[in-house]
Amino acid sequence: MKRVLTIQDISCLGKCSLTIALPVISAMGVETVILPTAVLSTHTMFKNFTVKDLSDQIEPIKNHWLSENVEFDAIYTGYLGTAEQIDQMKELFRDFRKDGSFVFVDPVMADNGKLYPAFDMDYVKKNAELCAEADIIVPNITEAAFMTGMEYREEYDESYIKEMLGKLNELGAKISVLTGVSLSPGKTGVMGYDREADDYYIYQNDRIDASYHGTGDLFSSSCVGAMLRGKTWQEAMQIAADYTAYTISETLKNPAKPWYGVDFEATLPELINKL
Residue numbers at the binding site for ligand PXL (CB under 6 A): 9, 11, 16-17, 40, 43-45, 79, 108, 116, 213-214, 216-217
Q: State which residue, 28 or 109, has the beta carbon closest to ligand PXL.
A: 109
Q: Which residue is nearest to ligand PXL (CB)?
A: 44
Give the separation between CA 21 and CA 219, rounded to whole angstroms.
10
Q: In the bound complex, what is the minimum distance in angstroms from residue 43's beta carbon to ligand PXL?
A: 4
Q: In the bound complex, what is the minimum distance in angstroms from residue 194's beta carbon to ligand PXL?
A: 26
Give which of 268, 182, 269, 180 is closest to 216, Cα–Cα: 180
Q: State which residue, 48 or 69, has the beta carbon closest to ligand PXL.
A: 48
User: For residues 207 and 244, is the Cβ–Cβ distance under 8 A?
Assistant: no
Q: In the bound complex, what is the minimum distance in angstroms from residue 25's beta carbon to ligand PXL?
A: 15
Give the separation between CA 192 and CA 203, rounded to whole angstroms.
9
Q: State which residue, 11 or 101, has the beta carbon closest to ligand PXL.
A: 11
Q: In the bound complex, what is the minimum distance in angstroms from residue 37's beta carbon to ligand PXL?
A: 9
Q: List Cα–Cα distances, 222 to 120, 138, 228, in angstroms.
A: 28, 13, 10
Q: State which residue, 142 or 238, has the beta carbon closest to ligand PXL.
A: 142
Q: In the bound complex, what is the minimum distance in angstroms from residue 49's beta carbon to ligand PXL?
A: 8
Give the separation between CA 124 and CA 14, rounded to whole angstroms.
24
Give which of 113, 98, 164, 156 is closest to 137, Cα–Cα: 164
User: For residues 238 and 202, is the Cβ–Cβ distance under 8 A?
Assistant: no
Helix, strand, or coil (residue 40): strand
DSSP sequence for 119-137: --HHHHHHHHHHHHT-SEE
Q: State which residue, 68 or 259, has the beta carbon closest to ligand PXL.
A: 259
Q: State which residue, 8 or 176, has the beta carbon closest to ligand PXL.
A: 8
Q: In the bound complex, what is the minimum distance in angstroms from residue 1's beta carbon to ligand PXL?
A: 26
Q: State which residue, 43 or 231, has the beta carbon closest to ligand PXL.
A: 43
Sheet holding 187-194, edge to edge: 51-53, 31-42, 3-13, 74-77, 102-105, 136-137, 175-181, 187-194, 199-206
Residue 98, strand partner residues: none
Q: In the bound complex, what is the minimum distance in angstroms from residue 114's beta carbon to ligand PXL?
A: 11
Q: State which residue, 17 or 179, has the beta carbon closest to ligand PXL.
A: 17
Q: In the bound complex, what is the minimum distance in angstroms from residue 108's beta carbon to ligand PXL?
A: 5
Give the separation between CA 193 and CA 202, rounded to whole angstroms.
9
> What type of residue sits at position 78?
G
User: For residues 165 and 192, is the Cβ–Cβ distance under 8 A?
Assistant: yes
